[in-house]
Every structure is written in structure tokens, then in C-alpha cells.
Amino acid sequence: MFDVVLPLKALPKAKSRLADVLTNSQRSDLMLAMVQDVVVTLLAWSDCRSLTILQGPGWPPMLPAASKLQVIREDECGGVGLYEILAAGIDRLFGERIIVVFGDLPGLAAADLEALSTAFDKGKTVICPDDQNVGTNAVAFSADDIPVFRFGGNSFREYRRNICSDRRVVLERPGLSFDVDTPAGLHALLWGRNAAMSLGPATQKWVLAARSSGVMWQIQAPVSTQQNASVSC
């Protein structure tokens, strides 16, 4: 089983790259919806031993009650940045298998998590890139082989450069690769262009509200995104 860690930066800072097309409240509501769906999916996964949420400022109470869920606020970790907070959160875990996953994965499904577990059984660190093979949306690793964490642009390249090819597996799945960071990703979310996955109910509700408000007509068409699932080294 896995201990899962979900880092959440300050809600007012979420989805800042969508500031030109969404209002502050729309961005916050979108992030809240996606996180709710990700949390529900993770808690329902039979291989999730515990879920630890590392929570930045500004998040309202919105999580379901669950015995395997714990929330650690940023100010409890003593860190001043995502790297320090994540390290402090992982240090509190006791399991041997750990997953760090981000909350902006609106199509995350049990099948994606099962694929991640299967890939991890190869005994290597599993890296899950975004659909542009630039960022990284999830990493699975052993507690005795914690990687140097990388986030944001070019993090996927950094992971591949820092983890030897014989110690890593790259997993590409629709639910783990599709995030909503850019107007192109938002367009794909609103228009339902990723046919290989289904959205969680909270995100579906946000999409319907956005469509009725006319948000979708402001978004330019996205560049093509990766649809196929694969595992490579």
C-alpha cells in the first residue's frame, strides 16, 4: 500500500497562469473542484494507506471525513517553500511506498492509480509527466530512495536527468497527465477534448457553470495534447 502526499500551495495563488481568462474566484473555485475530486478518488483507492494533505493558506474546510486523511498546514511544517514543506510532510510518514501527486488532475481515476502501482512494482521510481512532457504531476518512490523533488516547468527533464534510467519508469496516463495550468488546458477541459478520461463530479459541476457564464468562448483553441497511455524508461 501507499502513503499519498498531496501538496497544495496557497489557494489565492492557484492557477495564476489562467489570470487572463478567469477571475480570481473562478480560478479558486476550479482548483477547489479539482482537489475535491482528486481527494475522493485517492481515498477510495484500496491501495491508499494514508493521504496527507500539505495545505497552504486560504483553503476553506472542504475535505471529507476519513480515518486515513490528515491535513498538515504549511505553518505546522516550519518550511518556507514547497520543497521544505514537502520534505517535512514526508518525514512524518512511516510507510515504505510513497506517492506525491498534485491536485489539479480533473480526470484522475482508479485505473490511473492502479497503473501507477503496477509500474512501481518494477522496483523503480515512477515519474508521471504532464501531457506536454514538460512538468511532472506525480512521483512514486520508496521511502529509502527519496528523489530530489522538482516542480514546474522542465521538472520532467530534471527528473530524467537526475534519476538513472535503470532506476526510473515513466508512466503516461490520461488521468495523470492532463492538468489545467494554461488557457490551452482550460480549453480542453471546457470542450471535453480528452475523450480518454472522465471528469470528477465537482469538476463537471464547475465546467457546466463556466459554460453557462460564457467563459468557454473566451478561450483559444489548445495545442494538441497527448492521448495515449504508455510506460517507458
Q: Provide CATH code, domain 2-220.
A: 3.90.550.10
pLDDT at 128 over 90: yes
Q: How far apart are CA 221 and CA 129, in angstroms?
A: 22
For helices 24-44 and 110-120, the axis angle rounded to 10 degrees is 60
Segments in the chain forming alpha helices (H): 24-44, 74-77, 82-90, 110-120, 155-162, 174-177, 183-191, 201-213
- Give phi and psi for 197, each to the nearest 5: -145, 165
For helices 183-191 and 201-213, the axis angle rounded to 10 degrees is 100
pLDDT in tens, 99-124: 999 999 999 999 999 999 999 987 78
Proportion of the chain above pLDDT 70, given as a percent = 87
The ranges assigned to domains in the chain are 2-220
Average pLDDT over residues 148-159: 87
Instruction: Give the pLDDT of residue 73.
Output: 85
* Nearest by Cα to 86 from 130, 43, 52: 52
Q: How far apart are CA 57 and CA 168, in angstroms?
A: 34
* Nearest by Cα to 53 from 80, 36, 73, 26: 73
Handedness of CA 120, 67, 149, 154 (dihedral sign): positive
pLDDT at 34 over 90: yes
Per DSSP, the three-state class of 119 is helix
Instruction: Give the pLDDT of residue 140.
Output: 96
pTM recorded for the entire structure: 0.88
Pairing mode, strands 97-101 and 168-172: unpaired
